[in-house]
Structure formats: C-alpha cells, structure tokens
C-alpha cells in the first residue's frame, strides 16, 4: 500500500499514517498531480486494516500554500480541466470527512486556500501558533467554493467567517485557536510532540467507538456538504469565468497588484 505517490509522502508507523504534502520547493502548493493523489490517499487509508489515525501535514516549513498560480493560468482557457479540478476538490474534501478513522491536521506552517480548507475539515487541528491560515479565494477573483464557505461558518459562525472569507485576510494559529477555528495552537518546538501524544492516544483507543463517534459528529456536516457543495462549486466556476479572475491570475504571475473592474 501507499506506493506511487509523487506529491505526497505517506508513511505508516504502527496504526498512525502520516500524509505530508511533498512539494516544499513551492510551499506545498497544489497542482493537478497532487489533486489526483489527494483523491486517492484517503480511500486507500480507509482500506488499510492497520490504520487507526491519520496525520495530515506538510514537508518543510509550510503546510500548503494553496493553488499553484501557474496551474491557474493554464486553466484560464482550459475549461475542461477546470471542471475536472472542481470535481476533484469535492472528492478530496469528502475523502477527509468520510474516512472512518480520525484525521489530525498538523499545521506546521502557512495553510492557504485549499490547504486551509483541508486542514479545517480534519477532526482535530493543531496549529503552530505563528502559522497563517487564510482562504484568499476572493483575492484571486474566485468564490471560496471548494469547501471553505461550508467549513468556516460551521466552525466559527457566519459573522466571523464572512469577515475572513470576504476579505481573504489571514489569521494566525494562536488567533484561530482563540475563536475556535482550530482545536489548539502551540509553539513550533512543541508541535510534533503534541500531535504525537494525541495520535497515540487515538491509536490505542477503542477503534470501533472512535470511528462511529466521528461518523455521528460529522453527520450534520456531511448533510451540509451534500446540500451546498455543488452550488458553491458552481459559484466558483462563474467567478473563474470573470475578467477579475483573469486579471488577478495574470497580475500575481507578473508580480503586480491586480486592478479589479468588477466584471
């Protein structure tokens, strides 16, 4: 098991499976290959009879910087690939939510865009206190449709969620813990030990009870995803077709500030 991955590093020790985003040279930004591997990894963990808990983290000093700007540029005129990426985003989120065993997000650095969304959909989120967490879809002219507009309000309520989703502004791990966006935050030097303690506790626990408790707690969230995600992805697709999105992607690629026109 766990063979053939290029953009993910997958290691199992005992009952603990650690999945690391493995593109540190680009701050673990997602690309087409990573999308495909993220769709594959969580169902594969679910088929592993020895797995008791999963940890999602990033290689290097970043959790995940979100979408790859070069990939966004390519998709500006490749609508078929865009539709594929939307379907993949839905399946990746559902892979985390539907995995029977608990998933711990070890946010060892910045978690941006889809990186933030995946972290927040995990069952327990332990963040470095200085890590930045943000869903800046609006800053590239997109709707936060890949799950962010579901999970942020579910965790911190509509008022606070709209504050961050409508601006794309970041929040630190420490601030996120204070408002309940993440489970807890700790200094970088304590992160590994804290996550390992929780992972070992879960791995040694009553597996059937833990799995069914996760399923019970996630039932309402799963219903929200089923009811909303297709519409949210549709809104993101509409924004993908906008002039503002094209301008934002080109501006970021060229190292300049985008000039939005509202179209």
At 16-57, the pLDDT tens digits run: 999 999 999 999 999 999 999 999 999 999 999 999 999 999
By C-alpha distance, which of 195, 178, 63 is closest to 123? 195
In the chain, domain spans: 8-203
Q: What is the pLDDT of residues 143-191, one digit of tens each?
A: 999 999 999 999 999 999 999 999 999 999 999 999 999 999 999 999 9
Which CATH class, in words, describes the domain spanning 8-203? alpha beta
d(CA 32, CA 170): 25
Under the banding of pLDDT at 50, 70 and 90, the label for residue 74 is: confident
Q: What is the pLDDT of residues 211-258, one digit of tens each?
A: 999 999 999 999 999 999 999 999 999 999 999 999 999 998 899 999
Under the banding of pLDDT at 50, 70 and 90, the label for residue 71 is: confident
- CB count, 10 Å around CB of 258? 18
Q: Residue 8: its pLDDT value, please? A: 98
Given a contact cutoff of 8 angstroms between Cβ atoms, the answer to whether 238 and 143 are in contact is yes
Whether 1 shows a pLDDT value over 90: the answer reads no
d(CA 49, CA 218): 22
Q: Residue 170: its pLDDT value, please? A: 98
């Amino acid at each position: 098991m766990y063979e053939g991955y290029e953009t993910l590093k997958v290691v199992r020790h005992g009952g603990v499976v650690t999945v690391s985003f493995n593109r540190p040279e680009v701050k673990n930004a997602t690309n087409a290959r990573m999308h495909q591997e993220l769709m594959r990894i969580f169902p594969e963990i679910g088929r592993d009879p020895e797995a008791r808990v999963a940890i999602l983290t990033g290689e290097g000093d970043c959790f995940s910087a979100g979408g790859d700007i070069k990939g966004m540029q390519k998709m500006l005129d490749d609508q078929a690939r865009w539709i594929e990426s939307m379907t993949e985003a839905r399946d990746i989120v559902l892979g985390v939510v539907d995995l029977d065993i608990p998933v711990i997000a070890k946010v060892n650095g910045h978690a941006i865009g889809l990186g933030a969304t995946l972290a927040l959909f995990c069952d327990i989120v332990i963040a470095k206190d200085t890590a930045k967490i943000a869903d800046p879809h609006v800053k590239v002219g997109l709707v936060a449709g890949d799950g962010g507009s579901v999970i942020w309000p579910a965790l911190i309520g509509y008022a606070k969620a709209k504050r961050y989703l409508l601006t794309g502004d970041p929040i630190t791990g420490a601030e996120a813990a204070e408002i309940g966006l993440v489970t807890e935050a700790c200094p970088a030097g304590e992160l590994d030990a804290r996550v390992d303690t929780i992972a070992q506790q879960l791995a040694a626990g009553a597996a059937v009870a833990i799995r069914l408790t996760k399923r019970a707690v996630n039932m309402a969230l799963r219903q929200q995803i089923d009811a909303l995600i297709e519409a949210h992805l549709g809104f993101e697709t509409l924004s993908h077709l906008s002039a503002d999105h094209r301008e934002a992607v080109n501006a970021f690629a060229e190292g300049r500030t985008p000039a939005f026109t509202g179209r």
